[in-house]
Amino acid sequence: MPDDTKMPEMDAFLAANPDVELIELLVPDMCGMLRGKRLSRDSFGKLFAGEIRIPGSICLLDARGQGVDTIHYGIADGDPDYFCRPAPGTLAPVTWAEQPMGQVLASIVDEDGAPLLYDPRGILSKAVAKLAEIGLSPTVAIELEFYLLDQNPGLDGHPRPAYSEESGYRQSTTQVLGMEEMFDFEMFLNEVDEACKAQGIPAEAASKEYAPGQYEINLHYVADAMAACDQAAMLKRAIKGVARRNGLLASFLAKPFQETAGSGTHVHVSLYDKGGNNAFAGPMDEALGIKAGPALRHAIGGLVAALPESMAIFAPNANSYRRFQPGMYVPVSPSWGVNNRSAGLRIPPSDDQALRIEHRNAGADANPYLVTAAILAGIHHGLTNKIDPPPHSIGDQDPDNLPELPLNWHTALDRFRDGQILPTYLGEKYHGLYEACRRFECDQYHARIQPLDFDWYLRTV
């Protein structure tokens, strides 16, 4: 369905970047990977008029980029093309490319212009709409952890923290929040900052994280959940692109090393009413020691209730579950607490207007659109059903009788399949598709013979 409303954005971009001859059309898939096409300048007008088509099945590929045999969509239905609609505000220069180039995120829409059933941006829009129905709008900020690695593995075939050309040193200790370690990759971090400025990505802080070679970049909050997720997707791409240009590999794998911390996606959410008031704010809650109203507790209650069936989204692949280990600042239970990083749902210290929930369960490998959709679903469920949460955690101590989290892939998919909350928000059809697609990859993964099979069993059984 042609749409010429975005032509002024294209014209302004080309005026500011007259040398650009290519634009990359980017569509997020179920796994959070960006797929699409590279278009020459003579196709720019068609792109921004909404006349470029792409196979809708690209949203349903597995992590290897392969189609899923167990679903109807793809080869079985003829693999039809659908229109791509560029996302406003995402057209930006690709600063790390060898030649002048632009990129733009897009949604896939059907013949009527509605979001395609399985487009992740469309799924998020449904969850946002549910909150709008009760007069609330989310403000979202996303934090991403990642590792900088050598492009080539070590002699053992395993990844290793990147060697720093600036310092002539390979990090080997944690040095969390260490400032000297920021200079180890100063050129990389500076180039990421430049890319963010060029692309309108509101990166506000970078820090050394809890492992050799691990870093985090935080995005400033925006009063638009879709924009927050677009910015997270663009940030991941910028980090990978700038790393590659500097001879490094940036990885968002949840757990690349057995002995050190995993990488997470932390999502901060506040809710505001039509008058701009924070819905979580309220009088002093003596038990929590902060000013908070019943909406905060109900939102947390809904998130706790939804967490077991949401884990298949927060931890979308086999490696994701290796991250959940005690003592690594990774929540292994649906706990919550005030200013408590050991809890999965943290209430950071803030004033009334910024009162928010930090959701810490998702891995860095998760799809930010689906993660945010599942979080907003849990919040809406808690608010509309007035669900009280379990007692809050103090320190690293969890209260009794918390729901059990599924901490392996098969079990998480079972809990997702049997879930009663998420189907209402994701849509029954997409809910079933997600389970089928991720189950297909799970079964394919576990059918492969792993190196440990030989190390542990070849000579001993």
Per-residue pLDDT band for 5 (boundaries 50, 70, 90) equals low
Report the C-alpha gap between 134 and 271 in whole angstroms: 11
Span 255-293, pLDDT tens digits: 999 999 999 999 999 999 999 999 999 999 999 999 999
Span 108-141, pLDDT tens digits: 998 888 999 999 999 999 999 999 999 999 999 9
- The owner of tokens 């697609």 is 437
Can you say whether residue 274 is alpha, beta or left, with left for phi > 0 and alpha for psi between -120 and 50 degrees? alpha
Helices (H), 28-149: 44-48, 120-133
Span 308-337, pLDDT tens digits: 999 999 999 999 999 998 777 788 999 999
- Of the chain, the end-to-end C-alpha distance in Å amounts to 62
Per-residue pLDDT band for 2 (boundaries 50, 70, 90) equals very low
Question: Which residues does residue 381 pair with via DSSP β-bridges, in sequence order?
Answer: none
Asked whether 149 and 160 are in contact (CB, 8 A), the reply is yes
- pLDDT given at position 1: 43
Report the C-alpha gap between 2 and 377 in whole angstroms: 32
Q: What is the mean pLDDT of the chain?
A: 94
pTM, entire model: 0.96
The dihedral sign for the CA sequence 120, 323, 263, 359: positive
Report the C-alpha gap between 82 and 335 in whole angstroms: 42
Asked whether 371 and 362 are in contact (CB, 8 A), the reply is yes
**Domains delineated in the chain:** 12-117 (3.10.20.70), 129-426 (3.30.590.10)
